[in-house]
Amino acid sequence: MRIAVPNKGRLHEPTIDLLERAGLHLENGADRKLYAETVDPDVTVLFARAADIPEYVADGAAEMGITGLDQVHEAGVGNVEELLDLDFGKCRLVLAAPEDGEIDAVADLGGKTVATEFPTVTRNFFADAGVDPTIVEVTGATELTPHVEMADAIVDITSTGTTLKVNRLKIVEEVLSSSVRLFAREDVLDEPKVREIRTALSSVIAADGKRYLMMNVPEDRLEEVRDVIPGLGGPTVMDIANGGGRNVAVHAVVDERDVFETITEVKRRGASGILVTEIERLVE
């Protein structure tokens, strides 16, 4: 099973980190130009440009791929399927125009010129809107094109909108909301290894921002404690091996942001011996 991943750029390190946390440790390191073996003898990682990864998967060079949804849409390949939102690399592809210009809506761009590094996504967007501008493909500095009279508007990626504001551009409409996704070719979706990899990656994502709480609780205060513990499906209650007097052991998974308040509340209701640990993976 070959997984194509970004070879450089802002998506490279988070992708490698996710694979490592999921147990797919790279045997040859992440700096190889072409590929790296993993501890799983059936899984190889291929390094490619983020924009090329959908084609790698569609053409059979890899069975699975990790890259931005924007790149998948731009490639326009029809035989791949998204398996999982990996919840990083978030950005928006937006239609933007000069702040002091006359473009205030998508319809205003009929017969105008739009510059972009994403011509396929842009053409599809305007086709869906029933508007027919001229699309000019550029390879960088897209936000400058309206100021040098190359285009009336742009379609470009933004994370915070700061670059657009610096260049005196306003967002007219969102074209696509993107993040990094795991996807696979349609003919391998039922392969056991594909399911294993999806489960491994999703378990890491599910564990992000979660903490495991363990505590001892008097049996006669159990319902009070149970009522104030948020989390996945309620706490697990177990007998203590040495008898524990009249105490039981309570374990629960809670959001990290709830830990402080939860500890305060369970202590108030008689819990003791409270232990909080990180969770590496959570298979739901």
H helix count then E strand count, the chain: 8, 15
Give the span between the Cα atoms of 248 and 241, in whole angstroms: 9
Within a domain: 283: no
Q: Does 256 share its domain with 122?
A: no
Within a domain: 78: yes
Q: Which of 178, 197, 218 is the last residue of a domain?
A: 178
How high is the pLDDT of residue 284?
A: 75
Q: Does 83 share its domain with 110?
A: no
How high is the pLDDT of residue 22?
A: 95
Q: Does 15 share its domain with 70?
A: yes
Beta-bridge partner residues of 38: 26
Within a domain: 76: yes
Q: Does 155 share its domain with 45?
A: no
- Specify the CATH number for the domain of residue 221: 3.30.70.120
Domain around 222 = 209-278
Q: Which residue has the tokens 């105490």?
A: 247
From the list 93, 89, 44, 92, the residue with the least C-alpha distance to 68 is 89
Q: Does 161 share its domain with 107?
A: yes
Question: In the chain, which stretches have pLDDT less than 70?
Answer: 29-33, 231-233, 242-245
Q: Does 6 share its domain with 81?
A: yes
Q: Does 121 share its domain with 150?
A: yes
Q: Does 35 share its domain with 137?
A: no
**How many separate domains does the chain show?**
3
Q: Does 77 share its domain with 19?
A: yes
How high is the pLDDT of residue 247?
A: 87
Instruction: Give pLDDT tens digits for 102-128.
Output: 999 999 999 999 999 999 999 999 999
How high is the pLDDT of residue 239?
A: 84
Within a domain: 284: no
Integer-rounded Cα Rg, in Å, for the chain is 25
The string of DSSP letters for 91-141 reads EEEEEEEETTSS--SGGGGTTSEEEES-HHHHHHHHHHHT--PEEEE-SS-
How high is the pLDDT of residue 242?
A: 67
- Specify the CATH number for the domain of residue 173: 3.40.190.10
Q: Does 84 share its domain with 192?
A: yes
Q: Does 103 share its domain with 160?
A: yes
How high is the pLDDT of residue 32?
A: 56
Q: Does 236 share its domain with 159?
A: no
